[in-house]
Structure 1
């Protein structure tokens, strides 16, 4: 699993006193940076490979300013050219949100999906998610 600590900012807090729900997708994406780096080591958008196909978030509990948040990212499934991520956001040992994201390895020049290289696949497999039922 990948792990990222985020310190909520005042600007992310809404009028009700909790972190606005529009902030969570940004945090989840920030936690995916190590995965993006596998596909595009130079971080160049000219060479960018990861194209998002789908994302979903289930909001479970409110998140507040003043206490750090931990974002966990696992690889749930690796297909031929795509991968599905499973993500959770925790604050003070409480699951606050969980979601999924599906990306495809896309060649911008050729305008088509390409198989995930074996060297990347091997690194992704180190972060596979196993549910309690799957253990």
Structure 2
């Protein structure tokens, strides 16, 4: 593969955690497609679905997850009206951070891919906090 070739786009079924969001008319820009900044908001919906594990937050009491890094590749336009589906999976579990792979789909077509890093943060010290062993295992099971 040369530097210019991109890996094949993922499919939604390659993600263990899935969410959806409704595309609002207000999400569009003057060109008629969803504004690029809104794509990050859709991806947040997917991260939240993974990190909340249903009705229960994965972050232990006294901690929270904070977005530390996002790399986002736009693959195609997203158009209103409709819905987007967000796939999320764990790529790597570190000492206090987790790297997530995400993709956004409209009508089954991959329209964006992202890699995000979330850090577990202690609410009092505002510094990174190591994952308890059980949380590291739970996150690792979502790859």
Give the structure-2-normalised TM-score.
0.79
Q: For residue 100 of structure 1, what is the aligned residue in structure 2?
A: 115
Q: 1:14 to 1:40 in 2, by over 3 A?
A: farther
5 Å-filtered alignment, 1:6-45, equals: 6-34=21-49, 35-36=51-52, 37-39=57-59
Q: Is the 8 A contact 2:45 2:86 kept in 1?
A: no
- Kindly state the Cα deviation for residue 126 of structure 1 after the two structures are TM-superposed: 2.0
Q: For residue 65 of structure 2, what is the aligned residue in structure 1?
A: 50
- Kindly state the Cα deviation for residue 112 of structure 1 after the two structures are TM-superposed: 2.4
Looking at structure 2, the residues matched to 104 and 2 of structure 1 have their Cα atoms a distance apart, in angstroms, of 19
Say which SS state the counterpart of residue 31 (structure 1) adopts. Answer: helix
- Kindly state the Cα deviation for residue 109 of structure 1 after the two structures are TM-superposed: 1.1
- Kindly state the Cα deviation for residue 125 of structure 1 after the two structures are TM-superposed: 1.7
Q: RMSD in angstroms over aligned alpha carbons?
A: 1.6
Say which SS state the counterpart of residue 58 (structure 2) adopts. Answer: helix
Q: Does 2:135 align with 1:120? A: yes
- Kindly state the Cα deviation for residue 48 of structure 1 after the two structures are TM-superposed: 4.4
Q: Please, which runs of 5 or more residues in structure 2 have no aligned partner?
A: 1-15
Q: Does 2:116 align with 1:111? A: no
Looking at structure 2, the residues matched to 123 and 84 of structure 1 have their Cα atoms a distance apart, in angstroms, of 14
Q: Which runs of 4+ in 1 moved over 2 A?
A: none
Q: For residue 19 of structure 2, what is the aligned residue in structure 1?
A: 4
Q: Please, which runs of 5 or more residues in structure 1 have no aligned partner?
A: 42-46, 129-135
5 Å-filtered alignment, 1:53-64, equals: 53-64=68-79
Moved more, 78-87 or 107-116: 107-116
- Kindly state the Cα deviation for residue 20 of structure 1 after the two structures are TM-superposed: 0.7
